[in-house]
Amino acid sequence: MKDDKLPLYVQIANEMRNNIRIEKWHAGSKIPTEFELCDLYHVSRITIRAAIEELVKENLLVKKKPIGTFVTDYQETTRDMYTVVKSFTREMKELGIEAVTTDVKLIQGYADQRIAKFLHISPGDPILVLNRLRGSKDHTFAYFETYFKYDDKFSLKKTDYTGSLYNYLASLGIVIIENQEIVEAILPSRRISQLLKVNKNTPILKRSRFTSDIKNDFYEYTECYYIGTDYRYFLDFTI
């Protein structure tokens, strides 16, 4: 575990995260108490609490007072919540606004347990993480963090992801048919506040989106964050 380049709580958080990835700590299970973890890692309770908080922020752990801290059961979050599949570009076009991507980051990484479950892959499998700031030509008001399984057919050029992701996928023969979404109102984390340049009390609309093209074995998970005062989310249930 020892890595002098990283703070001790980060090193411990990495080990705890790995316990979840390899399902040593399985979904829904209670992890050891803070005192037990102190004994295990030979560190202070403050260090253990900091490590736990890192995983709570990532939604890998959840605290249930007064009974303890548990590994999040992500299967609970994929209950039946459906809406119409629309790209951000199309949504903006329907409102008469040209969608603009102001920043793109494309990262090659590896799936942790949480993302692996969403993408129907195994922890440690290679993935692409696409981070984009989006809005209109005058104002950035949305941040998208998208995950999908890595494949050689996907471009690693950021310029290929400035427009509609679904149009790009369609050019590769991937057509999104199934979609599930969870929509909630939240206050922004420090990171989201910085990205969207808002204060900590600004309402944020968060959309967690699960899409797929099962025929092509493609699964996407996206967390969308919108400045609540600048964005309206329309649902069309017309049959």
Domain boundaries, the chain: 8-72, 78-230
**Do 8-72 and 78-230 have matching folds?**
no
User: Please, what sign has the CA dihedral across residues 82, 60, 197, 87?
Assistant: negative
**Tokens 């992701």, located at residue:** 165
Burial 89-105 (b: 16+ CB within 10 A, else e): bebbeeeeeebbbeebe
Does residue 209 contact residue 83 with C-beta atoms inside 8 Å?
no
Class of the domain covering 8-72 = mainly alpha
pLDDT in the model for residue 136: 83
Assign 205 to helix, strand or coil: strand
Q: How far is CA 78 from CA 102, 133, 221, 230, in A?
A: 31, 26, 11, 27
Q: Quick one: average pLDDT of 206-229?
A: 91
Residue 1: pLDDT above 80? Answer: no
Higher-confidence residue of 92 and 183: namely 183
Assigned fold of 78-230: Chorismate lyase (3.40.1410)
Q: Quick one: average pLDDT of 20-45?
A: 91
* Tally of residues, the chain: 239
Whole-model pTM above 0.75?
A: no
Residue 60: pLDDT above 50? Answer: yes
pLDDT in the model for residue 3: 53
Q: pLDDT confidence of 6, banded at 50, 70, 90?
A: confident
By the 10 Å C-beta count (0-12 exposed, 13-18 middle, 19+ buried), 138 is classed as exposed
